[in-house]
Structure formats: structure tokens, C-alpha cells
């Protein structure tokens, strides 16, 4: 169920970016301009959405979850950056997030789900090929 939940969230949010319908696109574009200004915003949104879709699909594929977790770790760092470098967009006051801030903070639940999945993986050294 955890793998499917991560698939749904990542694939759904990713495809919305690819199709140009994500409510997060404005914040993602602002973050991209602050961190990667040499990229086209439209191209970045599509690539970011495709990456999210890939993460979601990887959680459904047996033995691909390790790759998904590693990529997800980088994705989580990137998506939490606005909490620090764009405070006006995510906080209305001390510990009072905007709707966008809440959208980011909910990633704590996604991280907890991924940690739960990772904790149940058989170490590579113990796997039979």
C-alpha cells in the first residue's frame, strides 16, 4: 500500500506539471529561477514532472525502490528549499505556513513512508541473484 501511495502522489503531481496544470508550477518556477536560472522554465517544469513520474513508477517496480528512494531524497531536498530561500511564499508568520508551505510540509509524511519501505528492504549483500 505504501508503494502504491507514493506512486499515486508522485505520478499524479508529476503529470500535472507535464500537462501544465499543476498549482505548484508558479512556486516551482520561482525556485527554478533562483537556483537554475540558465534553464528554460517550461522545459524545467516538464523535466521535473517527468522525474516525479519516474519516481512514482519506480516505487511500483520490484527492486527499483532503491533507485526511487535515492532520487526521492534529492527531490525532497529540492522541494523543501522554498521553506528557507523563499520564506515570503511559504510562511505568513512564525510556524504559520501558507497553503504552499503546507504543500511542502506534507512531504514529511512522504519521507516517513519511504523510510518505512527502506527499512523493509533486504540488504543487497543478502540478496540472491
**Do residues 80 and 104 make contact, with C-beta atoms less than 8 angstroms apart?**
yes
pLDDT at 125 over 70: no
Question: First and final CA of the chain: distance in angstroms?
Answer: 26
**Structure confidence at residue 39 (pLDDT):** 92
Note the pTM of the prediction, 2 decimals: 0.89
**Structure confidence at residue 124 (pLDDT):** 66
- Domain, as residue range, for 114: 2-126
Average pLDDT over residues 72-99: 94
Local confidence band at 6 (pLDDT 50, 70, 90 cut-offs): very high
Q: How many domains does the chain have?
A: 1
In the chain, beta strands by DSSP E: 91-93, 96-97
Average pLDDT over residues 21-36: 92
Q: Which residues contact 84 (CB under 8 A, 6 or more apart)?
A: none
**Structure confidence at residue 50 (pLDDT):** 98
Amino acid at each position: 500500500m505504501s508503494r502504491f501511495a507514493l506512486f499515486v502522489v508522485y505520478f499524479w503531481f508529476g503529470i500535472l506539471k507535464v500537462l501544465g496544470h499543476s498549482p505548484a508550477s508558479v512556486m516551482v518556477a520561482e525556485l527554478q529561477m533562483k537556483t537554475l536560472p540558465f534553464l528554460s522554465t517550461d522545459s524545467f517544469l516538464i523535466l521535473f514532472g517527468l522525474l516525479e513520474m519516474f519516481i512514482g513508477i519506480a516505487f511500483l517496480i520490484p527492486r527499483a525502490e532503491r533507485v526511487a528512494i535515492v532520487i526521492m531524497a534529492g527531490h525532497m531536498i529540492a522541494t523543501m528549499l522554498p521553506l528557507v530561500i523563499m520564506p515570503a511564499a511559504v510562511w505568513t508568520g512564525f510556524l504559520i505556513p501558507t497553503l504552499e508551505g503546507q504543500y511542502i510540509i506534507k512531504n514529511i509524511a512522504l519521507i516517513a513512508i519511504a523510510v518505512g519501505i527502506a527499512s523493509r528492504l533486504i540488504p543487497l549483500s543478502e540478496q540472491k541473484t
